[in-house]
Amino acid sequence: MRRIIFLLIAVATTAGLVALVGPAPGHADGQSAPYVTDIPNGYRDWRWISSAHEAGNLNSLGAVLGNDVASKAFRAGTLPFPDGTIIAALHYKNVPSDENNKVFGQAQSFVPGAPTNIQFMVKDSAKYAATGGWGFGHFADGKPGDAAFMKSCFPCHEQAKGSDFVFTRYAP
């Protein structure tokens, strides 16, 4: 989950690469978008699954939250995740905390700064059959990523096939 944003940036900044990725197939009935286009309700109240920090250019600090279905599955180690699972990754700039560092006497404390994006994985094995049963969503300032941007999600998550395409592990 968390590494996808890096890949998205890599893809977005690599001229021509997007063109090499074929269009993600939609639902067989042709009615469903292949991506998550609406922010799931109430995600900010969901249970904490884990935190994540990406150093380097991404310089991100955030958290992964899960709805009831997701948190139960994470805790029980259920694979594949059942339909109804929704996983949310909340990303922020990784910024030093000046007030914390005053107490420490050195620049060692980092906290979430400005929000950068929110990403979702929604499990619906029929609707999203073409992408491992997962619908992917990406929202920055409340606006969904466009189709070209979203094409990079599944190819990256495919590398986590052994954990049902989910990278995040539950923090006990």
Q: Using the rule CB under 8 A, which residue among 12, 111, 130, 140 binds its own copies?
A: 111
Asked whether 145 and 104 are in contact (CB, 8 A), the reply is no
CB 147 to its own copies: min, Å: 22
63 lies in the binding site for its own copies (CB under 8 A): yes
Asked if 77 touches its own copies (CB under 8 A), the answer is no
* Cα–Cα distance for residue pair 152/51, rounded to 1 Å: 23
x-marked contacts with its own copies along 15-44 as a string, rule CB under 8 A: -----------------------------x
- Could you tell me the smallest distance in angstroms from the CB atom of residue 78 to its own copies? 18
Q: In terms of Cα–Cα distance, which of 148, 149, 84, 171 is closest to 122?
A: 84
- Does residue 45 touch its own copies according to CB under 8 A? yes
Contact at 8 Å (CB) between 143 and 59?
no
Which residues are CB-contacts of 94 (< 8 A; sequence separation ≥ 6)?
Answer: 53, 54, 55, 59, 60, 61, 110, 112, 113
Residue ranges in contact with its own copies by CB under 8 A: 2-3, 6-7, 44-48, 50-56, 58, 61-63, 65, 90, 92, 94, 97, 99-100, 102-104, 106-112, 115, 156, 159-160, 167, 169, 171-172
